[in-house]
């Protein structure tokens, strides 16, 4: 086996990194995950993920964690409403989407990010994750890398795998290709105990998700575990918008006034989101990697997930692609058909880039459709089919 007697370091403990660690440990590989969070409870996890049959769920199956997943997913969270800016319902599958259809390629079960992280963490061997490890730099040493962390610690690894997200500190060691801005920006908000704090919206969403479309603007909402609600106010904006808008994202009154000004045609039912948000809002400019990126494979370094192919969120592929990366990379590294680790990495990267490019293209196209003047009509046609 290529990784026999090798020490593997995964930088980043998101879904992709933890899935990869689990899959490698099932192959008896020595692996450590270096995560900058102080501990497993240090950060509130974002909106739920919908896992897809051929990617995220395929990785869950290979990791032998499907039963744990079924015990923790959010039944009904994939139910969808499509509204206009007046909060009028144009599409609902709440009456037809009444059972969980595992095995159906179109069924995309949702799970809280926190719940998924817990499942993956508990599947790993003790002390696999080294918390409070903020990667700073690394340098070539022998046949591998000497990694340096913010706390002053340094460790050696024969093989390093970047799973440290869109702002990866390791990606520049592989390629200098940069992301480009898509022209779309999202303001993320969260409401705790939504039935109590946003009863009108909570009643409307009814445990599922909402997509509301206006004139080039939209609001996307999703029910989270524990009764919490996550939402995104999404619109087209200049890349410098976050630096020039003069908004205090923690000031709910100011943010509501901004919404009333910028979304003037939208119903006052949406005001409930701004009045009860757990401030501050988080601005998220949406970036994407070039669709034709390429680089020469290295013998001891590669990347997965957003570090390799950050893409817009408008096809629900981000976490799914990261988990599929983990699955395919683990299979390449465990395969007997490659003579060297570099050959295995090269094969994985070629497959990954092509697959990620196709997903990114779909995400870009969906983002344009969702922020067009015909967004409501377009999305209704899509869901009707």
Q: List, as residue ranges, the binding site.
A: 43, 50, 113, 306
Burial environment of residue 81 by CB neighbours within 10 A (0 to 12, 13 to 18, 19 or more): buried
Annotated binding site for NADPH: 43
Nearest Cα residue to 81 out of 219, 259, 186, 184: 219
Phi-psi region at 206: left, alpha or beta (left = phi > 0; alpha = psi -120 to 50):
left
Is the link from the previous residue into 69 a cis peptide, with omega within 30 of 0? no
Sequence-distant (≥ 6) Cβ neighbours of residue 277 within 8 angstroms: 189, 190, 191, 252, 255
Annotated binding site for FAD: 50, 113, 306
Residue with tokens 């919206």: 201
Residues in the chain: 385
Cα→Cα distances 127→3, 31, 132, 326, 368, Å = 20, 10, 13, 20, 44
3-state class percentages of the chain: helix first, strand second, coil last, to nearest 5: 35, 25, 40
The CA distance from 338 to 327, in Å, is 17
3-class SS of residue 228: coil
* Beta carbons of 254 and 155 less than 8 angstroms apart: no
């Amino acid at each position: 086996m290529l990784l026999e007697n090798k020490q593997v370091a995964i930088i980043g403990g998101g879904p992709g990194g933890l899935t990869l660690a689990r899959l490698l440990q099932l192959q008896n590989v020595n692996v450590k995950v270096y995560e900058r969070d102080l501990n497993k409870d240090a950060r509130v996890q974002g909106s739920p993920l919908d896992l897809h049959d051929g990617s995220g769920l395929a990785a869950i199956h290979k990791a032998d964690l499907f039963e744990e997943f079924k015990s923790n997913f959010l039944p009904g969270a994939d139910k969808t409403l499509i509204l206009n800016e007046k909060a009028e319902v144009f599409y609902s599958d709440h009456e037809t989407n009444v059972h969980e259809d595992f095995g159906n390629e179109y069924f995309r079960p949702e799970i809280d990010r926190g719940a998924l992280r817990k499942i993956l963490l508990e599947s790993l061997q003790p002390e696999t994750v080294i918390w409070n490890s903020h990667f700073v730099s690394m340098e070539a040493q022998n046949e591998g890398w000497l990694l340096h962390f913010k706390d002053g610690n340094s460790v050696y690894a024969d093989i390093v795998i970047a799973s440290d997200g869109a702002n990866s500190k390791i990606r520049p060691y592989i390629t200098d290709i940069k992301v480009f801005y898509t022209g779309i920006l999202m303001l993320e908000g969260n409401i705790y105990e939504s039935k109590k704090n946003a009863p009108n919206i909570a009643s409307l969403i009814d445990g599922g998700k909402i997509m509301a479309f206006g004139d080039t603007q939209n609001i996307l909402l999703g029910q989270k575990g524990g009764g919490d609600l996550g939402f995104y106010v999404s619109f087209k904006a200049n890349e410098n918008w976050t630096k020039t808008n003069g908004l205090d994202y923690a000031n709910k009154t100011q943010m509501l006034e901004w919404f009333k000004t910028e979304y003037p045609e939208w119903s006052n039912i949406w005001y409930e989101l701004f009045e009860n948000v757990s401030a501050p809002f988080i601005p998220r400019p949406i970036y994407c990697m070039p669709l034709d990126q390429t680089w020469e494979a290295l013998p001891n370094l590669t990347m997965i997930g957003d570090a390799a192919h950050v893409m817009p969120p408008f096809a629900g592929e981000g976490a799914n692609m990261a988990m599929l990366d983990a699955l395919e990379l683990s299979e390449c590294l465990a395969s007997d058909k490659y003579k060297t680790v570099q050959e295995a990495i090269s094969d994985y990267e070629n497959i990954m880039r092509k697959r990620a490019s196709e997903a990114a293209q779909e995400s870009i196209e969906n983002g344009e459709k969702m922020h067009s003047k015909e967004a409501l009509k377009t999305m209704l046609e899509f869901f009707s089919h």
